[in-house]
């Protein structure tokens, strides 16, 4: 990346860092394509320089972004078309999702250092097809991080794309509703979606046992509190999908009240070694951004800070710019790198 004076902007440059105002508001996010029309407005707001990607980086990143966006739309459309047209136990078209899973794996493998990148997930509206795609991508990346064999990773991919197919066979309202608050009849029906999905494909020879078991057991928990069978024993593949599925369900509100990303992460952390495999939760948390750039947080020392940069491999320890101090040692405008300041940590995420 390189630094440009505000009047060096010619238009078409891509921001490498977010533009932040003197009042600590994110004016333009990373990845924004700059326009010449922005110059005077930015200058009036006190912005004198920006960081942009150099030409070769810009082209590569823009192409990757466009291709990733196209791929996500294409995959989501295919998942929706296949599952919406699926009739119980008429599985002729479901095999096409094997190809979709293969394409997703191939595209993820093309991304440089994909297993080391931190992913900035966003709260979004509930959509079982987008949820299936998100769960698939998260689980595949986890499979790569855990050095699963290629055939196992492919089975994980197809299992994730099909894991919630049973939701199409129930009438219970599960959007932004906690299971335990459902009427007993709806709760019972909702918990059967894993069995409905499994029974629809259990005799399909083209689908591996790993994929089938992911559909049936992805809501089981290590402490026996899951469903449908309250099993306490599980496999690594089931552990991966149960963690990725739980996280993504929480941020989009499927079978639970929608929660912010950091709350979903807190839930996984608090249930390590009880409901979820501790080692896999730890690996998962290494790739998820807890506090997105531009978010506001409260520290244990009483300051309010805005996240301005992430620390690779340490998602819970970003760099903050203090916007409200507590009147003691730390002053407004100070930048704090939580990776270096071991005594300071984030207590909560707030709306500013």
- Predicted confidence at residue 79, as pLDDT, reads 92
Q: How far is CA 224 from CA 219, 232, 244, 253, 254, in A?
A: 10, 5, 19, 23, 21
Q: Tell me if 281 sits within 8 A of 231, measured CB to CB.
A: no
Domain containing residue 38: CATH number: 3.90.105.10
Q: Tell me if 352 sits within 8 A of 304, measured CB to CB.
A: yes
Q: Tell me if 91 sits within 8 A of 176, measured CB to CB.
A: no
Are both 41 and 122 inside the same structural domain? no
Average pLDDT over residues 49-56: 78
Are both 270 and 318 inside the same structural domain? no
Note the pLDDT tens digit of each residue in 127-149: 999 999 999 999 999 999 999 99
Instruction: Return the ∠ at Cα 332 (arms to 329 and 336), rounded to 5°.
Output: 70
Distance CA 79, CA 101 (A): 10
Average pLDDT over residues 19-27: 66
Residue 275 inside a domain? The answer is yes
Note the pLDDT tens digit of each residue in 284-324: 998 998 888 778 899 998 989 888 888 877 888 999 988 88
Question: Would you state the structure tokens that stand for residue 351, as one six-digit string?
Answer: 């709306």
Average pLDDT over residues 333-341: 88
Residue 69 inside a domain? The answer is yes
Mean pLDDT of the chain: 87
* Position with higher pLDDT, 38 vs 170: 170
Domain housing 69: 62-285
* Position with higher pLDDT, 92 vs 303: 303
Residue 215 inside a domain? The answer is yes
Residue 290 inside a domain? The answer is no
* Position with higher pLDDT, 327 vs 187: 187
- Predicted confidence at residue 326, as pLDDT, reads 72
Residue 291 inside a domain? The answer is no
The DSSP letter of residue 180 is G
> Beta-carbon neighbour count of residue 205 at 10 Å?
5
Are both 98 and 42 inside the same structural domain? no
Are both 66 and 128 inside the same structural domain? yes
Distance CA 190, CA 170 (A): 7
The closest of 167, 166, 142 to 153, measured between CA atoms, is 142
Rg (CA), the chain: 22
On the 0-12 / 13-18 / 19+ scale of CB atoms within 10 A, 10 is: exposed
Are both 267 and 195 inside the same structural domain? yes
**% residues pLDDT > 70 (the chain):** 91
Question: Would you state the structure tokens that stand for residue 221, as one six-digit string?
Answer: 């928990």
The closest of 342, 329, 282 to 302, measured between CA atoms, is 329
Average pLDDT over residues 178-190: 94
Give the pLDDT band (50/70/90) at residue 275.
Answer: very high
Are both 89 and 166 inside the same structural domain? yes
Q: Tell me if 268 sits within 8 A of 286, measured CB to CB.
A: no
Are both 259 and 306 inside the same structural domain? no
For the range 311-316, what are the long-range contacts, defined as Cβ-Cβ under 8 Å and sequence gap of 24 or more?
311/337, 311/338, 311/339, 312/116, 312/118, 313/116, 313/118, 313/286, 314/339, 315/118, 315/285, 315/286, 315/287, 315/288, 315/289, 315/290, 315/291, 316/285, 316/290, 316/291, 316/345, 316/346
The closest of 259, 197, 257 to 227, measured between CA atoms, is 197
* Position with higher pLDDT, 110 vs 267: 267
Give the pLDDT band (50/70/90) at residue 177.
Answer: very high
Residue after which a domain boundary falls, among 261, 285, 309: 285
Distance CA 115, CA 284 (A): 10
Are both 66 and 49 inside the same structural domain? no
Residue after which a domain boundary falls, among 241, 262, 285: 285
State how many domains the chain has: 3
Are both 251 and 325 inside the same structural domain? no
Phi-psi region of 11 (alpha: psi -120 to 50; beta: other; left: phi over 0): left
- Predicted confidence at residue 56, as pLDDT, reads 64
Residue that is written with structure tokens 């507590």 in the block: 326
Q: Where are the beta strands (DSSP E) in the chain?
A: 2-5, 19-20, 26-28, 49-52, 296-299, 304-309, 319-324, 335-337, 346-350
> Beta-carbon neighbour count of residue 43 at 10 Å?
12
Are both 276 and 302 inside the same structural domain? no
Written as one string, the DSSP assignment of 65-83 is HHHHHHHHHHHHHHHHHHH
Task: Give the total residue count for the chain.
Answer: 352
Are both 249 and 302 inside the same structural domain? no
Are both 87 and 165 inside the same structural domain? yes
Residue 83 inside a domain? The answer is yes
Q: What are phi and psi for residue 178, nearest 5 degrees?
A: -70, 135
């Amino acid at each position: 990346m390189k630094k440009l004076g505000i009047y060096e902007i010619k238009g078409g440059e891509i921001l490498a860092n977010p533009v932040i105002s003197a009042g600590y508001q994110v004016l333009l996010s990373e990845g924004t394509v700059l326009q010449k029309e922005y110059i005077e407005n930015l200058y009036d707001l006190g912005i004198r320089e920006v960081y942009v990607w150099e030409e070769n980086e810009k082209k590569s990143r823009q192409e990757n972004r466009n291709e990733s966006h196209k791929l996500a739309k294409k995959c989501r459309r295919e998942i929706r078309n296949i599952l919406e047209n699926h009739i119980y136990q008429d599985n002729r078209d479901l095999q096409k999702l094997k190809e979709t899973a293969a394409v997703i794996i191939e595209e993820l493998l093309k991304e440089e250092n994909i297993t080391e990148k931190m992913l900035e997930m966003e709260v979004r509206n509930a959509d079982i097809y987008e949820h299936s795609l998100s769960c698939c991508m998260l689980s595949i990346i986890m499979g790569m991080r855990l050095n699963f064999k290629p055939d196992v990773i492919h089975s994980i991919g197809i299992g994730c794309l099909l894991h919630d197919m049973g939701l199409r066979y129930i009438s219970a309202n599960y959007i932004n509703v906690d299971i335990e608050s459902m009427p007993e009849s709806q709760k019972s029906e909702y918990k059967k979606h894993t069995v409905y999905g499994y029974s629809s494909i259990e005799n399909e020879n083209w689908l591996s046992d790993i994929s089938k078991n992911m559909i049936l057991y992805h809501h089981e928990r290590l402490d026996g509190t899951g469903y449908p069978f309250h099993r306490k024993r599980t496999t690594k593949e089931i552990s991966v999908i149960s963690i990725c599925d739980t996280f993504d369900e929480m941020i989009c509100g499927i079978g639970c009240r929608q929660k912010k990303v950091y709350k979903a992460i807190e839930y996984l952390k608090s249930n390590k070694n009880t409901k979820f495999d501790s080692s896999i939760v730890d690996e998962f948390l290494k790739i998820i951004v807890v506090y997105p750039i531009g978010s506001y947080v409260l520290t244990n020392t009483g300051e309010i800070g805005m996240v301005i940069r992430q620390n690779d491999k340490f998602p819970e320890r970003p760099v903050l710019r203090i916007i409200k101090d507590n009147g003691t040692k730390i002053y407004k405008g100070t930048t704090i790198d939580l990776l270096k300041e071991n005594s300071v940590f984030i207590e909560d995420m707030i709306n500013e």
